[in-house]
Structure 1
Amino acid sequence: MNKTELIENVADQAGITKVAAGAALEAALASIRDTLKRGDSVTLVGFGSFSVTKRAARMGRNPKTGEALKIKASMAPKFTAGKPLKDALN
């Protein structure tokens, strides 16, 4: 399912227009992104949690040339599925 299909599905299930569903989805994603940028986590009970993890600086290799290169430290988003979501899939 891509973003357009998700918006259509939300609009159908909620009985709202695709424009309203698209705006709601964009607002929810922006809120999650802004919260993660601040370093906080977002927990949706029954669905899962979004958080930020630190990746340490490390040495890597260019696969084409084999040359060693330094990969700088970074922050990465992480999603952990909640128990109800896991149970729904199994």
Structure 2
Amino acid sequence: MNKSEFVAAIAAKAGTTKAEAEKLVAAYHEVVTETLVKGEKIQLIGFGNYEVSERAAREGRNPATGAAITIAACKLPKFTAGKALKDKVNGKK
């Protein structure tokens, strides 16, 4: 499912226009992004959690030359599915 299909599905479920659904999806993305940039966690009970995880600097290898390189530390957005979502995906009640 791409973004336009996602917006169309939201519009159909909510009984709104695609333009209104597009605004809602954009607002959702903005809120999630802004919250994660602040380093805060979002918990959506029954759906999942969004959080920022930190990856330490580490040594890696350049696959072309085999030379050792240092990979810088970074922060990564992470989504963890909640139990209810996992159960639905796996066909459990």
Equivalences for 1:39-54 in 2 at 5 Å? 39-54=39-54
Deviation (angstroms), 1:45: 1.2
The runs of at least 4 aligned residues of structure 1 exceeding 4 Å deviation read none
Aligned to 1:56: 56
Residue ranges of structure 2 left out of the alignment (5+ in a row): none
What SS class does the counterpart of residue 63 from structure 2 fall into? coil
Specify the code of the residue in structure 2 equivalent to 1:80: T
Aligned to 2:5: 5
Specify the code of the residue in structure 2 equivalent to 1:69: I
Deviation (angstroms), 1:2: 0.9
Aligned to 1:16: 16
Give percent identity, aligned residues only.
Answer: 48
> Residues of 1 paired with 2:38 and 2:82: CA distance?
22
Kindly provide the CA deviation profile for residues 23-58 of structure 1, in whole angstroms up to 9, marking residues without a partner as x: 100101110010000100011111000001100001
Specify the code of the residue in structure 2 equivalent to 1:77: P
What SS class does the counterpart of residue 63 from structure 1 fall into? coil
TM-score by length of structure 1 reads 0.96
Residue ranges of structure 1 left out of the alignment (5+ in a row): none
| Count of residues in Structure 1 that have an aligned counterpart in Structure 2 | 90
What SS class does the counterpart of residue 27 from structure 1 fall into? helix
